[in-house]
Structure 1
Amino acid sequence: MDILLLGLVLFFAAHSVSIVSDPWRDRKVANMGEGLWKGLYSLVSIAGFVLIVWGFGLARLDPVILYTPPEWLRRVAMVLLVPVFPLLLAAYLPGRIQAAARHPMLAAVKLWAFAHLLANGTLADLLLFGTFLVWAVLDRISMKHRIQRALPGLPPSRTNDIIAVIGGLALYAAFVFWLHGWLIGVPLAGTRLINLE
C-alpha cells in the first residue's frame, strides 16, 4: 500500500500545482523555462503513474475488503462509463460537447472514478479512485478562480463531436471486450458484470 500512496502523492503533487498556486507555477515556468518545467513535470508525473500502477497491482494481491458492491451497482457503473471516452476525446476536439461540458476531461475523470468506486470495494480502490475523484472536483472548483491555459486541439466543428462520440464509443467497446482484461487483468466481457440476462 505504501508504493500506491507514494505514487498518488507524486502524481497529484505534480497535477495540483495550479490548484494550490497558479502564480507560483507561472513564476517557476518563467524562471526555469517552459521546456525544463515541462520536463520535470513529466518525469514526476510518469514516476508517480508507474508507482500507482505497481502499487495498485501489489495491493490487489492481498486486498483489504471494505464492502462488496451488489451486482446492480456494477451494471450502473458500466452505464456511467459510456460517456467517459467521448468526453476525453472532446477535450481535444472542440465542438458542442466541449462547450456543454466546459471541462470534458475533468467530467470524464469524475465519472470514471465514481463508477469504479461503485463497482469496487477494496481499500486500494478507495484510495486510487477516491483520490482521482477528489482531485477532479477540486481542480474544477479551482478553475473558477484562475485563468485557463489553452489546450492543443483542432478548430471547433460538428465533425469533432462526431469523431469524439464514434471514437469514444469504439474505445469504450475495446475496453469492455478486450483492453480492460489485457491492461488491468480484470476482464469485463463474458463476465456477469455485463451479462444483462
Structure 2
Amino acid sequence: MTWFGPEFTAWNELAAAIILFMLAHVLPARPFLRDRLTDALGEEGYLLVYSAVSLVLLGWLIVATGRAPHIQLWPFEPWQLWVPNVLMPLACLLLAFGFGAPNPLSFGGWAVERFEADRPGIAGITRHPLLLATLFWSGGHIVPNGDLAHVILFGSFAFFSLIGMPVTDARKQRQLGRRTWLWLAGRTSLVPFAALLSGRWQPSLHRFSVRRLGVAGLIYLAFLALHPWLIGVSPLPDLPDLPGLSGLSIPDIQMPHFR
C-alpha cells in the first residue's frame, strides 16, 4: 500500500465517512447548534433534514467499507452467524419499544411530558434503548465479519453507542438539573435490568404494548427479507438436518465480504 495509491485512498474514504457520520450525530446534539437549526428549519424540518443527512452518510459509509482493502483478521466459521441472529431480535425489540416512547433521559423519545417516573416503561429496562439496540446490532455483526474494514465499521458503532450512554446521562443531568434527573431516573437503569434486579422497578403487564411487539417482529422480518437484497448474502445460519425437514433448506452461505 503506497501513500498515494488506491488502497490508501480507500482507507481515507472510510475514515472520512466514519468521522463525518459521527460528527453529524454528535454536533447537532449540542444545545446551541440544535436550537439554531430548529429555529431556522422548524422542529419537523430539522428532523427531516437530519434523517436525510444520516441516511446519505450511512449509505456512503457502507459503500466506503466495501471499497476498502480486504484484510482478514480471523476466519469465518458458520457458528458465528448465530451471534447476530440472537442479538438482532433483541435489538429490534429495543428499537420498537424505545423509538418514540416518552423518555426525557435519552434521545429518540417523544412526548416526554407523558413520562411517568414511577412507571418508566422501557427506560426501566435501560435508559438508552436505542443506543443499546445499536450496540447489539454492531457488536453482533463484528463476530462473523472478521476483516479489518468491517471491524472498524461495526467497532466504531459499538464504541460510540457504548460510551454514548454515560455521556448522554451526563448531558441530561446538566440539562434537567441533577435533582430532577435523579427523580426521573430513580426507577431506571443504565445497565439493562439493573433496576428490576435491585427491586427499584417492577414491570406492569397491563401497560405492555402488543402493537410495539408486532412492530418489532415486522422490523426483524424486514431485516431478514432485505438483507440478501441489500447486502448480497442471507443472514441465516445453516440448520442441521432434522427428521421431517429434509425437504427444507437454506441457501448455502458463501464467504461474502459483508454479513
Give the structure-1-normalised TM-score.
0.75
Distance in 2 between residues matched to 1:47 and 1:93, nearest whole Å:
22
C-alpha deviations, 1:149-173, integer Å up to 9, x for none? 9xxxxxxx8353x222222123223
Question: What is the aligned partner in structure 2 of residue 8 from structure 1?
Answer: 18
Distance in 2 between residues matched to 1:165 and 1:40, nearest whole Å:
29
Q: Tell me the secondary structure at the aligned position of residue 82 of structure 1.
A: helix
Q: Tell me the secondary structure at the aligned position of residue 121 of structure 1.
A: coil
Equivalent residues in 2 for 1:3-82 (5 A)?
A: 3-17=13-27, 25-31=30-36, 33-36=38-41, 38=46, 41=50, 44-59=53-68, 62-82=69-89
Question: What is the aligned partner in structure 1 of residue 217 from structure 2?
Answer: 169
Q: Tell me by how many angstroms 1:93 deviates.
A: 5.1
Q: Tell me by how many angstroms 1:41 deviates.
A: 4.8
Question: What is the aligned partner in structure 2 of residue 92 from structure 1?
Answer: 99
Q: Tell me by how many angstroms 1:86 deviates.
A: 1.4
Distance in 2 between residues matched to 1:98 and 1:158, nearest whole Å:
13
In the alignment, is the contact (CA less than 8 A) between 1:63 and 1:123 conserved in 2?
yes
* 1:158 equivalent among 193, 207, 210: 207
Distance in 2 between residues matched to 1:169 and 1:196, nearest whole Å:
25
Gaps of 5+ in 2: 1-10, 102-119, 176-205, 242-259
Q: 1:47 to 1:34 in 2, by over 3 A?
A: farther
C-alpha deviations, 1:54-97, integer Å up to 9, x for none? 212323xx521111143323213311222111111111253733
Question: What is the aligned partner in structure 2 of residue 135 from structure 1?
Answer: 160
Q: 1:93 to 1:163 in 2, by over 3 A?
A: farther
Q: 1:98 to 1:179 in 2, by over 3 A?
A: farther
In the alignment, is the contact (CA less than 8 A) between 2:85 and 2:235 conserved in 1?
no
How many residue pairs match? The answer is 178
Identity of aligned residues (%): 28
Distance in 2 between residues matched to 1:181 and 1:116, nearest whole Å:
15
Higher relative contact order (CA 8 A, sep 6+): 1
Letter in 2 for 1:163: R
